[in-house]
Structure 1
C-alpha cells in the first residue's frame, strides 16, 4: 500500500461507522487539574489509572475509532508504576490497539505569545518534528494532532478587534507545515484551528472569524501540497462567547454548517468537532442536529466528534480515582460515547451528563 493510500484509508477508518475520537492527550499539567477536581494527586500512576479506566471500557471500539494520546501515555507501561514500558513489556495503549482502536499522538508542544501581537498565541513544536513523527509512527501511532488557537474580540473605539492578520497567518501556516510533515512520516494529521469560546462575542462574530480562519487554513494546506483525502479537520462549532447569552441549538448547528460548506473542500473525508467549552449535553445535541434531516443540504464529509472533556467529565466524577468505582466510571464514559455515536447518525440519545 502506498503512503497516499494508507493515509486515505486511515482517515476514512477514523470516521467510519458513526464512531468518533477520544481526545486523551491532556498535558501533564492539564490532566493534573482534572485529577485535582476529584481529589487525586497528579502522579504518573494516577494518570495511568485514569487512562486505563477509559481504555479498558467494555465495548469502547463500538463508539470510539481512535484515541489521541500524550507522549507519556503512548509509551507508558500497563502496570501500577506508570513508567515507560521496557522492551518486551506490555504497554498501556495495547488495551486500545487490541480492540482495533487506532492510536494518535499530540505533536505540538503548547502555546506562546505571538511576537507581533502578544495578546494572541502561536503554537510551538517544530523542533525535531519530522524525527518525532517518525518515532511515534514506529511506536504504533497512525495519526497526529496539532492545535492552533485563535482569540476573538469585538473591536471598540479603544481596542482593535481580534484575531489579527498575523495570528490567522501564523495559525494557518503552522497547521499546513505540521500536516505536510506528518503525512511525510505516514501519520494522518488532525488539523485543529480552535476559535476560542472565551469572551462575550456574538455568534455572528464567531461565524465570521471561523470562516476567515478555515479559508486561510485550506489555502495554506493547498499551497503546502497536503493530501486532503488524508487529513481530518477538528474545528470549533460556531457559538456565542462563553460569557454571552447562549444561542438556540438549531442556530449553532445551522451557523456551523454554513461555515463548513463555504470553506471545507469535499475531498476532506471527515470533520471531528472539538467541544470547545460546551457542556456534554450541548456538544452532543449540536452534533445530532447537524447530522439530522432538520438541516438539509450538502454534507460531503462525515461529521463526527473528537471530544476530551465532553467524553470524560461524567466518567471522571463517577470514578473518583477509586479502584472500586472503575466500572461506574466506565459506564458513564460509555454512555457519553454512545450518545455521541448516535449524534453522528443524526439521532439524539439520552445519557448521563455532568453538566
Structure 2
C-alpha cells in the first residue's frame, strides 16, 4: 500500500471548490433518464451524452474527479480519445463504480438489501487501474421504515463496505465509502439522524477492523434530510445543523474529505445544504459534492439528445454553483444570474 499516493489522491478529490461528478449510472438507470427526454438507450447515445459532459469547457475548474460506469471507463470520446485520458488531460481524476448493485437481504425487513460485487473484485480493480481509474465507489443502501433498518442490514453492509475499501487500497485505488440512508420514506429528520449515526459508527468500526487507511478514503454520506413523504420538512439550516452534528460525532478527522450524495434532493436544495454547512466553517474535513442527478438533470434536459451546447451550458452552471457551495460562497441570487 502506497499510503502517500492514496492520501494525495484523496486530498485532490476533495480540493477546495471542487467536487465529483457521478456519471456512473448503470445501463438500466441511464435508460430511465433517457426515457424522460425520449432518447434511445444505445451505446452510441450513452457515449455522445458523456462526451458532452466531459468536454464541457471549464467544468474542470469545479470538478476534481468523475465516477465512471465500467462501460464508460473503456469507451473513447467522439474524437477517439479514451475517456480516462480525456479527463486526465483536463486535470480531472477518473474513477470507477465497482459494486454490482443491490440484492434482497434475507432475514431482514422485506425492503432491505445487501450490495454485491466482492467476488473477483481484486482482479477487476487491477484491470480498472490499468485503464486509468484512480478511485472507486461502492454504494450501500439503508432503508428506514417497516422495521428497517435491522442490525443485520447495518452490520452486513458496513462489513462489505470495509472489505471493498481494503481491497481498493491494496490495489492503489482510493475507495469512496458510500453508506446511503434513503430519503424515500415518511420518517422525520430526527429518525434519519439516528439511523445515519448508527450506520456511520458501524462503518468506521469495520474500517478499523479491516486496517483501512482513513487518510486514503473519501466518505460519501447522505445529508440529514426529512423523508420525502414526511409532512414536516427540515429547512436548509436544520439540515446543515443536523448533518454537521452527526459528522462531528462519527467521522474521524483523519478522513481528508466528505463528498455528499444528493439522494433525490432538488438541484437547489443539494447546493443550498452544502453551502450552509461550509458557511459554518471550522471543520476538520473538506465538505464537497459527489452528485449525479443534481449535477446532470438540467444538462440532460437541455441536451435533449441533440443540443450539445445547451447541455454543456447547463452542466457548467450546476458545476459552478456547487463549486461555490463547496467554499461556502453560494447565494440563491447567483442561480438567476
- Decide: shared fold, TM above 0.5: yes
Gaps of 5+ in 1: 81-88, 154-158
**RMSD (Å) for aligned C-alpha atoms:** 1.3
Question: Does structure 2 conserve the Cα–Cα contact (< 8 Å) formed by 1:7 and 1:230?
Answer: yes
How far apart, in 2, do the equivalents of 1:93 and 1:280 lie? 27
Match of 1:242 among 180, 204, 228: 228
Structure-2-length-normalised TM-score = 0.96
Report the secondary structure of 1:51's partner residue: helix
1:148-190 per-residue CA deviation (whole Å, 9 max, x = no partner) reads 000001xxxxx5x210000000111000000000000000000
Partner SS state of residue 105, structure 1: strand
1:326 aligns with 2:326: no
1:104 counterpart SS class: strand
Task: Show the counterpart of 1:346.
Answer: 328
Counterpart among 279, 284, 293 of residue 309 in structure 1: 293
Query: What does the per-residue CA deviation read over 1:309-330, in whole Å, with 9 as the maximum and x for residues that have no partner?
Result: 00000011111110xx211111
- Secondary structure of 1:215's partner? helix
Give the structure 2 partner of residue 61 of structure 1: 60
What is the aligned counterpart of 2:88 among 93, 97, 121? 97
The alignment status of 1:337 with 2:319, answered yes or no, reads yes
Residue 85 (structure 2) pairs with residue 110 (structure 1): no
Runs of 4+ in 1 over 2 A off after TM superposition: 77-80, 92-95, 349-353
SS at match of 2:16: helix
Aligned length: 333
Report how far residue 348 of structure 1 moved.
Answer: 1.6
Alignment of 1:167-246 (within 5 A): 167-244=153-230, 245-246=232-233
Query: Residue 237 of structure 2 contacts residue 273 of structure 2 at CA under 8 Å; is this kept in 1?
Result: yes
Q: Secondary structure at the match of 1:145?
A: strand
In the alignment, what sits opposite 1:27?
A: 26
Alignment deviations for residues 226-279 of structure 1 (CA, whole Å, 9 cap, x no partner):
000000000000011011132111000000000000000000000000001100
Does residue 10 of structure 1 match 2:9?
Answer: yes
Cα distance in 1 for residues equivalent to 2:11 and 2:77: 29
CA deviations on 1:117-176 (whole Å, 9 max, x unpaired) are 1420000001110000011011100000000000001xxxxx5x2100000001110000
Contact 2:7 2:215 in 1 (8 A): yes
Cα displacement (A) at 1:90: 2.8
- The match for 2:268 among 272, 281, 286 is 281
Sort the Cα spacing of 1:349 and 1:49 in 2 relative to 1 into closer, same or farther, 3 A.
farther
Is the deviation greater in 114-123 or in 65-74? 114-123
Task: Summarize deviations over 1:191-229 as a string: whole Å, max 9, x none.
Answer: 000000011000000000000100000000011100000
Contact 1:280 1:310 in 2 (8 A): yes
Residue segments in structure 2 that go unaligned for 5+ positions in a row: none
Query: Are 2:32 and 1:41 aligned?
Result: no
